[in-house]
Amino acid sequence: MTPQELDRAYTKTLSDMSSHPRGEVMNSLGIVALVLIKQRVQEKGEDVGGQKYAPYSTKPMLANRAGMNVSAYNKIAGSKDKRKELKWVTIDGHKLFEVPGGYKQYRELHGRQTGFVDFSFSGRMWSNVALISSPADHNSGVAIIGAKNTETNDILEGNTKRRGDILDLSDKEIDELKEMYNLGMLKILKQNGL
């Protein structure tokens, strides 16, 4: 390659890199980041440092029929004998019973896994966590993952206070995203013969 050809290739590469639609790249990176977070938390129960979240609570908790599906309620209180064995309290006119095995047992009664904390019960929280940044944010090089509504934001805030920032990226995930970005830039270099 002659010096003039090299100069043209560099000029073209710089032009391609600067005109590369940053917004599209950030949108893609944000979507991939969310997938990586969900996989780590929901499939492995790991925090940003790779540690398992503290297990589900086994401290007794209060519940009522209205807060459970029929099958779960029947497992713990579906007969007179079962109801007799439970501890009952009335709070503000509402009859509640104690689930002796706490939230872990409550999840088990509903057929949910309890091997690790996955922040998934109904699936509503995770279905309302998304890439919430605007195209203008993406064009500025920013991708924001968060709650799509107030209810989910409140749930995330509560879980974050108890367990740490669920939506943080691990160093490994950041490296994966950097590699994805760098591969895109490398593709531009190769397209221009560099």
Cα–Cα nearest to 125, from 158, 93, 101: 158
3-state secondary structure of 139: helix
* Inside any domain, residue 4: no
For residues 142 and 190, state if they share a domain.
yes
Query: Range with the lowest mean pLDDT among 1-5, 84-88, 140-144, 149-153?
Result: 1-5
For residues 47 and 66, state if they share a domain.
no
Backbone φ, ψ for residue 89 (5° rounding) = -140, 160
Q: Rounded to a whole number, what is the largest CA-CA distance in the chain? A: 91
| Residues sharing a CB contact under 8 Å with residue 141, sequence separation 6 or more, in sequence order | 22, 26
* Inside any domain, residue 158: yes
For residues 91 and 177, state if they share a domain.
no
Q: What pLDDT does 17 receive?
A: 55
* Inside any domain, residue 147: yes
* Inside any domain, residue 14: no
For residues 166 and 76, state if they share a domain.
no
* Inside any domain, residue 60: yes
pLDDT digits (tens, 9 = 90+) for 20-65: 566 788 888 999 999 999 999 999 999 999 999 999 999 999 999 9
Q: What pLDDT does 82 receive?
A: 96
For residues 188 and 134, state if they share a domain.
yes
For residues 37 and 84, state if they share a domain.
no
For residues 37 and 133, state if they share a domain.
yes
Q: What pLDDT does 132 receive?
A: 96
d(CA 104, CA 153): 23
Residue 95 bridge partners (DSSP): 90
* Inside any domain, residue 169: yes
Q: Which band of pLDDT confidence, cut at 50, 70 and 90, is reported for residue 10?
A: low
* Inside any domain, residue 25: yes
Task: Tell me the average pLDDT across 106-131.
Answer: 95
pLDDT digits (tens, 9 = 90+) for 136-194: 888 888 899 999 999 999 999 999 999 999 999 999 999 999 888 777 666 666 665 65
Task: Find tokens 């943080």 and name the residue.
Answer: 168
Q: Which band of pLDDT confidence, cut at 50, 70 and 90, is reported for residue 111?
A: very high
d(CA 30, CA 139): 12
Q: What domain count does the chain have?
A: 2
Give this prediction's pTM: 0.79
For residues 139 and 46, state if they share a domain.
yes
* Inside any domain, residue 179: yes
For residues 62 and 96, state if they share a domain.
yes
For residues 194 and 156, state if they share a domain.
yes
For residues 166 and 105, state if they share a domain.
no
Task: Tell me the average pLDDT across 87-94.
Answer: 95
Q: What pLDDT does 180 receive?
A: 83
Task: Tell me the average pLDDT across 72-94.
Answer: 95
Range of the domain at 78: 56-114
For residues 181 and 148, state if they share a domain.
yes
